[in-house]
Chain A
Amino acid sequence: MKLLPYSLLPLLVICCYSTAVHAKIRVSNEKLEVGETVRLSFSAPVDSLTVTYRPSSSVSKQEFLVISPPASSTEWSPQNPGLVQLSYQDRSGTHPTTVSHNISVRFRGFSSSGVAVMLLAFIILFGGAGFAFRTLFQRQDT
């Protein structure tokens, strides 16, 4: 079935759930900031790693890390803040499976554009509601 924006299908989560459960990616520091280097460990040696910033979105970005020679750990430094999915193909079983791990990369300090958008949206929405409330009660008073 298609996963349209308004569909109630749970497929997306099921896909995430059904990835290999035994093979795992471990991150030396789960509370990392953008630009900070961490060590990634795998259950078995891997030759490449896919890093997806903002996965399952229309603005997701990918980078491929080639690990040569194949190793069971490597260093990685996130380029962007936000949700990042790390994944690789595990070929140790009869069928290759995708092993993935999500990690939240924190901002280094404040995101000025984020704070600006938040304040602007807050002012428009709550300001608009407050203004309309005032008008409503003014009319009730008169």
Chain B
Amino acid sequence: MSNKRGNWNSKLGFILAASGSAIGLGNIVFFSSNAYQFGGGAFYLPYFIALFVLGLPIMMMEFGMGTITGKSFPLALRELAGQRAEFVGWWSLISTMFIIAYYVAILGWAFGMMVGAFGSLFEGGISAPFTPFETPTEGPNAMVYFFSILATWWPIVFIFIIWGLNILILRKGISSIEKAVRVFVPLMWLFMIGLVIRGLTLEGGFDGVMYLFTPDLEGISDPSVWRGAFSQMFFSLSLGMGIMTAYASYLPKDADQVNNSMLVSFLNCSFEFIAGIAIFSLLFVFSLNPAGSTLSLSFFVIPQGISELSSIPWITRLFGFLFFFLIVIAGLTSTISLIEAPAAALIDKLKVSRKKALTMVAIPCIIGSVLCTLPIIVDKGLAGNGTLGLSILDITDHWVFSYALLIVGLLESIAIGWILGAEKLRQALNRYARYQLGVWFNYLIKFVVPGLLLTVILSSLWEERGSLYGSGADMVGFNWLPVFIPIFWLTISLGFAFYLTKKPYEA
């Protein structure tokens, strides 16, 4: 298990890293939110169909690309489907760098809330410089506390701490990543199980669990339920970002990627399952609504529930601290993989050192993270996002996360399914697989996956037809942002993708 790129010390290390990458902020709260909005247990029907017809085949394809070629995402695509496919790979990774920038900003805020758990997060008398929050609160209010942090420069300090941790973990490559995930991933499971136990032991907690799983089949006929399930599965498994290919490229060629894909996918979805139990039991007991965005649930709603968990202040503080610690480590296991994907590709293509590759990725991303935490108030009435940083983050997230990954997934399935040939991939995967893939796999990669992704992309674009995202809110002095951000992202990502694809490459 040795070559210049380094290898995982064990298959378990790889599984922990890949599942740690897949399990992130979204898994903790997003499944609960979707399940609530789309009919509780009924959501499991489209969810499982999405897992088996979309999630697992793409995961197998991305893992397979890594082990077959031993290269990172763009170069694996180049080797298997030509130079035009390499362009798709670079576009994906440059877009991933936009995600890294704001993801670290969110982790910075989570770090601030974690510290605040032993400060004034669970105390009354908090105010924030926004019109709805100017009067000090009577009791604890997580949302006001969050906005009070958001309007300070402290988050910039916190993002440098998060960036420091990322660089520390990534400095020695796969060996230091493996050491970190061996601690972080079991800790994540442990803390989540702790939350489940606490939730279930609250009076009425089990009713919350039954509420999560009791199906309301009326919603199943709604196309948005299916679109929600397919999108959730794609994002939840960290697909379309080149991560799984980069991680798999550090495995020996005889790795069983069919089994590995099943293991990582099932672990990811199992974590969502227990997270759903924890969140529903907690929110049901305190009559809090689980519908909302990742940010509102993680930073406002769940901490509000935690603030009522116990009449003993230090227990509340401890649970609050542990919840945000869970978010920080779940986020860290994702950011290290997000950073590793472009870094590994730069090392492969430009033959630069790991230190230089990490610097090339980190510097623009740190600038992006700082922009996403700028506390300049652009919307005092909070009709939108309040600060300039959160507005930048929200609009960037909308375009990059909602479109880039799905488009990459579509293009890579076309490249592998039609240019390389799905049959060749199936044969390569089957060579070392204990359980063989049937011909149905070819149909999924060639027809079903591209068809589903195209449908999701087109239906999302159809919803955009009314107005440009973000143009409805008045951001004093920055009303040009909703137009500028998508143009900036497309120009930068496509430009750099073109530049890096054209760079000469020697295998």
- Determine if chain A interacts with chain B: yes
Q: A87-116 CB contact bits vs B (8 Å, 1 = yes)?
A: 000000000000000111011001101110
Residues of A within 8 A of B218 (CB): 59
Q: Is there a chain B Cβ closer than 8 Å to A139's Cβ?
A: yes
Residues of A within 8 A of B214 (CB): 81-82, 107, 111, 113-114, 117
Q: B457-480 CB contact bits vs A (8 Å, 1 = yes)?
A: 000100100010110110000000
* Structural contact, B41 and A59, CB atoms closer than 8 A: no
* Structural contact, A6 and B44, CB atoms closer than 8 A: no
Q: Is there a chain B Cβ closer than 8 Å to A64's Cβ?
A: no
* Structural contact, A7 and B210, CB atoms closer than 8 A: no
* Structural contact, B203 and A31, CB atoms closer than 8 A: yes
* Structural contact, B207 and A7, CB atoms closer than 8 A: no
Size of chain A's interface in residues, with CB distance under 8 A? 57
Q: CA A13 – CA B12 in complex, angstroms? A: 41
* Structural contact, A125 and B291, CB atoms closer than 8 A: no
* Structural contact, A6 and B231, CB atoms closer than 8 A: yes
The contact of B222 among A2, A13, A16, A58, by CB within 8 Å, is A58
Q: CA A133 – CA B19 in complex, angstroms? A: 13
Size of chain B's interface in residues, with CB distance under 8 A? 80
Q: CA A2 – CA B269 in complex, angstroms? A: 28
Q: List A4-31 residues whose CB lies under 8 Å from chain B.
A: 4-14, 16-18, 30-31
Q: List B182-221 residues whose CB lies under 8 Å from chain A.
A: 203-204, 207-216, 218-219
Q: Is there a chain A Cβ closer than 8 Å to B407's Cβ?
A: no
**Chain B residue nearest in CB terms to A57:** B37
Q: CA A72 – CA B214 in complex, angstroms? A: 35
* Structural contact, B207 and A132, CB atoms closer than 8 A: no
Residues of A within 8 A of B132 (CB): 14, 17-18
Q: How far is the CB of B275 from chain A (nearest CB, A)?
A: 12
Q: How far is the CB of B376 from chain A (nearest CB, A)?
A: 17
* Structural contact, A136 and B207, CB atoms closer than 8 A: no
Q: How far is the CB of B65 from chain A (nearest CB, A)?
A: 20
Residues of B within 8 A of A138 (CB): 434
Q: CA A104 – CA B296 in complex, angstroms? A: 20
A-B pairs with beta carbons under 8 Å apart, 13 shown:
A6-B293, A8-B293, A10-B299, A12-B292, A102-B289, A103-B287, A107-B211, A115-B213, A126-B266, A128-B262, A133-B263, A135-B259, A136-B12
